[in-house]
Amino acid sequence: MENLKQLGIIPVDYALLGSLFCAYKFPRNKIANLESEGKLIRLKRGLYVVSPKVSGKLLSTELIANHLYGPSYISMESALRFYGLIPESVYMVRSMTTKRSRIFENSVSKFDYINCNNEYYPIGINQKFGENYTFLIASPEKALCDLIAYTPEVRPRFLKALQLYLKEDIRLDMDAFYKMDIEIIKECAQVGKKKNEFNNLLKLLQR
């Protein structure tokens, strides 16, 4: 299993796994056996990750999300929680994508992908580094903009309503909020949805 262990926690496709087991008469059967033994975890058809009990490392749901469907980056509550800006645990990994919206569910987690336009997508994306891997995640500013713009029931049209939403509904760290980069939110307001709400965010930050 040393060859599996060397893969670490990076998701791998069927072709790569097949090349690892090309000495076997039926590599497909070998891969199926490893999955049934819990040594490989199937993320979706044709995409796998090595089980932590083999790799000896914890899985990264952020890294998996990037590989599962892309182009995409971690955002909304998932990103805000990653930065420690909201207190609640998040039970679904949410991402933005330029492709059509999709939901995937596997034994690792549930992964939700939300479509946005090509102009809006690249604003405020950060690259984070783990041990021998990287993944893409929204900056705190972009994650908040994504959450407001792409949650249909969220319509805080007035400053008071927006303050209540930030403080009480998502319990955002307001000290961190007032340190956010205004320029990222301005860019989002230029090409994104819910311009009125974005402009109210800017008004709050500029008080």
What's this model's pTM, rounded to 2 decimal places? Answer: 0.92
pLDDT at 127: 97
pLDDT band at 158 (very low <50, low <70, confident <90, very high): confident
More confident residue, 143 or 89: 143
Examine the pLDDT at 24 and tell me if it is beyond 80. Answer: no
The domain spans of the chain are 2-55, 61-205
pLDDT tens, residue by residue, 41-92:
999 999 999 999 999 999 999 999 999 999 999 999 999 999 999 998 888 9
Examine the pLDDT at 113 and tell me if it is beyond 90. Answer: yes
Examine the pLDDT at 1 and tell me if it is beyond 70. Answer: no
Lowest pLDDT segment from 93-97, 126-130, 144-148: 126-130
pLDDT band at 123 (very low <50, low <70, confident <90, very high): very high
pLDDT at 157: 80
- SS3 track for the chain: CHHHHCCCCCCEEHHHHHHHCCCCCCHHHHHHHHHHCCCEEEEECCEEEECHHHHCCCCCHHHHHHHHCCCEEECHHHHHHHCCCCCCCCCEEEEEECCCCEEEECCCCEEEEEECCCCCCCCCEEEEECCCCEEEEECHHHHHHHHHHCCCCCCCCCHHHHHHHHHHHCCCCHHHHCCCCHHHHHHHHHHCCCHHHHHHHHHHHCC
